[in-house]
Structure 1
Amino acid sequence: MTTPSGRLQGRVAIVTGSSSGLGQAICLAFAAEGASVFCIDLHPTAAPRHNTSTAAGAAGRTAESSSWSTGVPLPSLHYSSRGSSATATATGTAAATPPPGSGPNPGQQAGTHERIRQTGGEATWHRADVTRARDMELAVRACVQQYGRVDIMVNNAGVSVESTHPRPLRCHETGEDDWDRTLAVNAKGMFLGCKYALKQMLGDSNANPNPNPNPNRGDVSGSGGGGAGGTSGQPQRYASRGWIVNVASVQGLVPYYGTPSYCASKGAAVMLTKQIALDYAPDRIHCNALCPGFLDTRMTQNLQSQDRLLADIQSKHPFGGTLGCVDDVAKAAVFLASDDAAWITGVPVPVDGGYLLR
C-alpha cells in the first residue's frame, strides 16, 4: 500500500456518495493524505441491501438502495449531531477498521466519517439528496460553515438502475422511470455538485488551496496549488483555486450491453467535465473525471455468479481475469485532487486495468 505523504494536507474536500464502496474509499484516502472530509450521502452508513445486481457499472448503486454510493456493505457509526449534520473530529493514533459492536448498535461497525475520526482525521457527515438543488446548496454552505471553504469537490454519487434487472434491457425495453432516475442522480446530481462548489470556489477570495506550499515544487507561498515551476525552484506561473473530480465510468467512453441510461449518464458526466474544465480554466479551477472499470463491489456480487457475463468482462482485462479494487481508484482521485495534477484539466482518466485496450 502506498504510504500517505500529506498531499492534501490542510485542504477541505466534499465527497458525495460517501457511505460505501468507492465513495468511502475516496474519503478514507483523502483523510489519510491530510484533508478534512465533508461526507455527503442519504445515510451516514450504507443501508441494508434488499436485492442483488445483475450488471456491472463502475460507480453507482441499485435503485432499491437508499444510499447513492458504490460498493461493499458499510457498517453503522456513532456520531454527534450538530444541526442537520453529524460531526466527527478527533486526534489520535491510526487504527484499523473498528470491530463489530463498536458503533451505537450492537453488531454494527463504524461508518465513513467515524472511521476517519478513529484514525485521527477530521470528517463531518451531512445528509443531502444530490438530485435536489436546495439540498446541495445547503450542503456546500454547511461545509463552508464547518471548515471555512471548499477546496475539492468529488461528485461520486451514482446509481445503476439497470443492474437491478434480471437480464440486460435494450433501449426499446427501457422504462422511462429507469431513465429518469439514472439521469437525475448521475447527471443532474453531478451538475448540482459542480454548480454549488464552483460558486463557492469563485466567491472565496481568501481561498488558499495550498496552505502548505512545497518549495521543491516551486510553489508560491499562499498562492494556491502547484505550478509549472516543478523542481527547478522557479516560481509557478499560476495558482490553483479548486479541484473538481467527477466519477464517470468506462461506460461513459465505450458502451456496454443493456445499459442505455447508465451509458448515457456517464457519457454526460465525461462531457460535463470537459465543458467545466474549459469554462473555468481562466479561474484556475481544475475539473477531471475518473472512469473506473468493473470493480469488485457489492454491486457486482451477483454479476460474479453469472459465468458468461463475468467471463466476457474478464477476457477484456490484459492483467488477467480480475475485477478492480476501489482503493486503486481512490489513489487516482487523490492524484487528481493534488498538486501532482496541477497541469491536468478536462481529462477523463480510465482506471480500468486495461479494459479499454480490448
Structure 2
Amino acid sequence: MILNPEGERSLMLGQLNGRVALVTGASGGIGRATARALAAAGAQVVIADVEVAAGEETALALRDEGATAQFIACDVSDPEEVRALLEQTVATLGHLDVLVNNAGIAGSAKRLHELEVDDWDRVLAVNLRGLFLCAKYALPHLMNRRGVMVNIASTYGLIGAPQAPAYCASKGGVVNLTRQLAVDYGPSGVRVNAVCPGYVDTDMGGQRSRMVPPQAAAALERREGNAARQPLGRQAHVDEVARVVAFLASESSSFMTGSIVTVDGGCTSTFNYNQ
C-alpha cells in the first residue's frame, strides 16, 4: 500500500526536526521523493543536481508545502563543485546531519566489449567517484553531529544484469564502500547504510524520453514485464523507496550501520526469467 501524503507525514512526523539533510540527484525520481520525505519528517533540505530548472522547481515545491528547502547546482563528479556544495550548505544552514548520495546515471546498454571507454568512465565518475567526493567533504561535518549517510545503490550492485557492466560495477562499489565507511566511521558516531532499489516507476536519466515513442513504449513494456515476474509483481513507487531512506536517516534505525537494504519487491530473492 502506498501511503498518501498525510500518512507519510504522520509516519515520520518530527523525527528529523532540527536536522539538515543534503540529497544529491534530487531534481526528480527517487531523489526528489527522498527530499520530500525528509522534509515531511522535519528536516531542512538541500537539493543538489546538475539539472538546474528541475532542481529549483523541486525546492520551490517543498517550500510551498511549508518546508525549508534550497537548491544548489552541483556536478558530483567535480571535486571543486562538491567542496563548494558542502561549504555553502553548512554556511547557510549551520551544520549537516544527513547526506543522501542519490546522484547516479545508468550509462549505455551494451556488453562490455562494445562499451566506449568514455561511457565507462562517466558512469563510474558519477556513481562511485561522486559518492566518494560527497562523503569526503561531508564526513567532517557528519562526525561533528554524529550524523547519518544513506547511499542509494541498486539491486544491480548485488547481482549481474544484462548489458550494464559499468552500472553494475559502480553500484557494487557503492555497496561495499558503504560497508567500509560503516567500519571506519562507526567509532566516530556516524552511521552509513545503503538502499538497493529494484524496478522503480521512474525514467532514470530520462532515457525513455530521448527515444522515439515506439522504442520508449517497448522499453517500458520490457521493464514492466520484468517487474511483473517479481514476487510482488509490480514496480515500486518512488515514495516507497524514499520512506526507507527517511527511516535510515532517523533515530528509528539507531542500531543500523553497514546495512544493505533491498527495496525490490523480492526480485533478488527469485530467478527473474527473460531478462
TM-score normalised according to structure 1 size: 0.68
Equivalent position to 1:155, from 90, 95, 101 = 101
Length, aligned pairs only: 254
Structure with more of its chain in helix, by fraction? 2
Equivalent position to 2:135, from 194, 202, 225 = 194
Give runs of ≥4 in structure 1 deviating > 6 Å.
none
Distance 1:200 1:310, change over 3 A: closer
Matched residue of 1:19: which SS?
A: coil
Which consecutive residues of structure 2, in runs of 5 or more, have no partner in the other structure?
209-214, 271-275
Q: Identify the residue that residue 211 of structure 2 maps to in structure 1.
A: none
Residue pairs, 1:1-358, within 5 angstroms = 1=3, 2-4=7-9, 5-46=13-54, 111-162=57-108, 168-202=109-143, 204=144, 207=145, 241-299=146-204, 301=208, 305-306=218-219, 309-310=222-223, 313-320=226-233, 322-358=234-270
Q: Do the aligned residues in 1 keep the contact of 2:236 with 2:264 (CA within 8 Å)?
A: yes
Matched residue of 2:52: which SS?
A: coil
TM-score normalised according to structure 2 size: 0.88
- Alignment RMSD: 1.7
Distance in 2 between residues matched to 1:45 and 1:279, nearest whole Å: 37
Could you tell me how far 1:316 is from its partner in structure 2?
3.5
Could you tell me how far 1:145 is from its partner in structure 2?
0.7
Distance in 1 between residues matched to 2:247 and 2:80, nearest whole Å: 30
Distance in 2 between residues matched to 1:247 and 1:258, nearest whole Å: 20
Which consecutive residues of structure 1, in runs of 5 or more, have no partner in the other structure?
47-75, 78-110, 163-167, 208-240
Distance 1:122 1:41, change over 3 A: same
Distance 1:116 1:174, change over 3 A: same
Distance in 2 between residues matched to 1:186 and 1:192, nearest whole Å: 11
Could you tell me how far 1:18 is from its partner in structure 2?
1.1
Q: Specify the structure having the higher radius of gyration (Cα).
A: 1
Q: Do the aligned residues in 2 keep the contact of 1:17 with 1:158 (CA within 8 Å)?
A: yes
Worse-superposed segment, 268-277 or 1-10: 1-10
Distance in 2 between residues matched to 1:274 and 1:142, nearest whole Å: 28
Could you tell me how far 1:138 is from its partner in structure 2?
1.1
Matched residue of 1:45: which SS?
A: helix
